[in-house]
Amino acid sequence: MCSQIFDSLPEAVGYLTEQVLKIKKILGTLHAQPSSSTNRLIDIEEASALIQKAKPTIYALVRKGFLPACKRGKKLYFYERERHEWIEKGRRGHNTPTSSDEMLSQIQSLVRHKPKSLKYL
């Protein structure tokens, strides 16, 4: 029995070698293909070109919390996938209705100057 296994050993090694070469070939083709993932970091210039807004507008949208961003030091970074989602979210007729409390909090966050209280006589 041991001699039968020993006799088939070169065939088994040859088979395994072929399989490893096939796997290497597949991995090589996968590595050579460009990544279809749009989850890469982009800077403010690329984000400006992508959403077609000026840099000051983008800074204002980030400051108000409408545009998600990552800040490291003095630079803003964005995920390309999030920019596409943000653009799609603004499509008319496709927005999900929000509650009145959420609408009220959004409106209040946009008010720069709070009205003075009325003094009653």
For residue 118, the model assigns a pLDDT of 61
CB contact at 8 A, 38 and 80: yes
Q: What pLDDT shows up at residue 95?
A: 46
Tell me the pLDDT tens digit for each residue of 17-59. Answer: 999 999 999 888 877 666 555 578 888 898 888 888 899 998 8
CA 46 to chain centre: 14
Q: Which long-range contacts (CB under 8 A, 24 or more apart) does 42-50 make?
A: 42/77, 42/78, 42/79, 42/80, 42/83, 43/75, 43/76, 43/77, 43/78, 44/75, 44/76, 44/78, 46/78, 46/80, 47/76, 47/78, 47/83, 50/80, 50/83
pTM for this entry: 0.45
Q: How confident is the model at residue 94 (pLDDT cuts 50, 70, 90)?
A: very low
